Structure formats: structure tokens, C-alpha cells
Chains A and B, each alone.
Chain A
Amino acid sequence: MNIPYRALAIGLVTIALSALLFQRAQAGGSHYFAPVGDPVVKEECGSCHLAFPPSMLPASSWQRMMADLKNHFGDDASVDPATARRITDYLLANAGDAGGRRYGDKLLRGTSTTNAPLRITELRKWVREHREVPAWEWKHQDVRTKANCVACHAAADRGYYED
């Protein structure tokens, strides 16, 4: 009998890789960050990347970011003054350290609320939570950047960031 070893091997490797990714997507507790609700903020902050939940950064970070949209991680993301004001108001009102917030509590633990970190992916807690993700997964063509939350957290756009 002629057994197609090559095809079988490719199939097995594919199944194994899918299982690995699936397992990573399934495991873990509940990490909820309320998604952006304002339609203007969602449109302006969510065209190029996921509109990151404001509770993931302290107010000082959002203030610093909105003050320099011309140099937004290498892109010119400037908007007109009225839009900028509306976005800033929303982000500040819903920032991780805004009064009564709790979604961002864990993520911001150990983060100074005054030194205004700009990258969510450099928060101590974020780094720790993602320490087991191997380099090849970050480079995977469906991921490519740490800002691409939905690549692994399928429900990120609804606020759920389970492992």
C-alpha cells in the first residue's frame, strides 16, 4: 500500500499547532476591560489598531499620548482639535486610575500613575502575563505585533482578554 507519509506529516503538524494555539486561547481566568463605547473614539482610535480600553492605562498616559498624536508610535495620527478634545475627555474619564474604576486595577498594579507609560505592552503586569508566549508566536503572520490583541484574545474587541 502506498501511504502518503508527507501529507500525513503535514496534517499532524497542522493539527498540533492549532491545538497549541487553541489551548493558549482557552486557558486562564477572566480579564475584562470595558471596550470603548464612544463611537467617535472607537472610529478614530480603532481604525489602525484595536481601540484599546482606556482602563488599560492611567490618565497621565492618555494625556501624554493625546498631546503628541503627530508622533504616534511612528505614525501621524493627528485629528482636528474638536475631535481630539472629545477623545481626550473620554479617555481621561475612563482611565485605569479614574475614580471608581476597577477593570484596570490588576494591570496597573505596580505602575506609577505619574510617569505616564505609553505602551500597554511595557506594563510590568502585561509583560508577566505574556512571558510564556514564545518568540515565534509573536512573529506568526497572523500576529506580527504585540498590539494585535485579537490575534490570540478572540473576544478582545468585546473586552475579554482571557489567556
Chain B
Amino acid sequence: MNRKEKTLLLGLTLALASAAAQAAPRDDLLAGYGVAANKADPAFAGFSAARGEAFHRKSFAGGKADTPACTSCHANDPRTAGRTPAGKTIEPVAVSASPGRYGDPAKVEKWFKRNCHDVLGRECTPQEKGDWLSFMLSR
């Protein structure tokens, strides 16, 4: 193996390791939502990215008038950037476009809490969270 190949191999290993390091907290997060979803509904049969996609685009009436849907601020296509009402750019919510996302469970919970209240007027259920997250991980 020459020097260039060695460097490439090292780079690949590091990239894989960092991808794995970021995937672990996400898996734990999703597993946690799964346990909670099962508790709430014993018939729960796993998360669905398709349900998450429908949820992402659905309009709700219970929240604030200017933010009826996730897509009021996040883009319809999660791979593109969104925008807050005050004009701040929101990095894409799809993991393929923002690989660093969802690595900090406290941060994820913080934003679910805020955004679910703004959009639905209530907390999101563990199943809604898991579905939505599955959609973002699949994109």
C-alpha cells in the first residue's frame, strides 16, 4: 500500500467512525421513542417514514395561526433550508443534507417541545416524534 492509499484508508476509517459515533445517539433516541410509543399503545408496530412525511406536511388547527404546519418554517422538501418568521435560515432537517443533526437528544427534545406547541398546540406523541425522525433519517 503506498502513502496515498494509506491516507485514503485512514480518511475513510475516520469518516466511518464519525458517522457511527453520530448514528449511535440517534438510534438510542429512536429506541427511546419506540419504548414510549409501545407503552402508550401496545399495538404499536414500529415507526414509519411515510407517516412521518405526511405529518411533516399536514396542516393543524390547534397551534399558532401563523405556523399551522412543520413546513411553515421548515421547507416542504426537508433537504432544502427553511426560514423562521424572523427571517433566520434554518438548516435542512433531512440528515442527508445536515449530517450533524439529531446527535444531541436534549436539543431534539427542546425543539420538539417548542415546535409541537407552536404547530399542534400540544406535545407530540412518541409515535409522532419517531415517525417524523424516521422520515428525516431516510432523507
Chain B at the A interface: mostly helix, strand, loop or mixed?
A: loop
Query: A47 contacts B117, CB within 8 Å?
Result: no
Is A48's beta carbon under 8 Å from chain B? yes
Residue B42 is within 8 A (CB to CB) of chain A in the complex? no
Having A144-B87, A147-B86, one finds 20 other A-B pairs with CB under 8 Å, namely A46-B88, A47-B88, A48-B84, A48-B85, A48-B86, A48-B88, A49-B84, A49-B86, A49-B88, A50-B87, A76-B114, A76-B117, A142-B87, A143-B87, A144-B85, A145-B85, A145-B86, A145-B87, A148-B87, A151-B87
B118 an interface residue at 8 Å Cβ cutoff? Answer: yes
- Taking residues whose C-beta sits less than 8 angstroms from the other chain, chain B's interface range is under 10
Instruction: Pick the 8 closest A-B CB pairs, nearest first.
Output: A148-B87, A49-B86, A147-B86, A48-B84, A145-B86, A48-B86, A148-B86, A151-B87
Q: Is B87 within 8 A of A49, CB to CB? A: yes
A75 CB-CB contact with B under 8 Å: yes
Q: Collect the chain A residues with CB atoms within 8 Å of residue B117's CB.
A: 76
Mostly, the A contact residues are loop
Given the complex, which residues of A lie within 8 Å of B64, measured CB to CB? 74
Question: Residue A84 at the B interface, CB < 8 A?
Answer: no
A-B contact pairs, 20 of them (CB 8 A): A47-B84, A48-B84, A48-B85, A48-B88, A49-B84, A49-B86, A49-B88, A50-B87, A50-B88, A74-B64, A75-B114, A76-B114, A142-B87, A143-B87, A144-B87, A147-B87, A148-B86, A148-B87, A150-B87, A151-B87
Closest Cβ of chain A: how far from B113's Cβ, in Å?
8
- Could you tell me the distance in whole angstroms from the C-beta of A140 to the nearest C-beta in chain B? 11
CB-nearest residue of chain B to A148: B87
Contacts of B87 in A (CB 8 A): 49-50, 142-145, 147-148, 150-151
What is the CA–CA distance of A149 and B39 in the complex, to the nearest angstrom?
Answer: 46
**Cα-based distance from A44 to B118 in the complex (angstroms):** 17
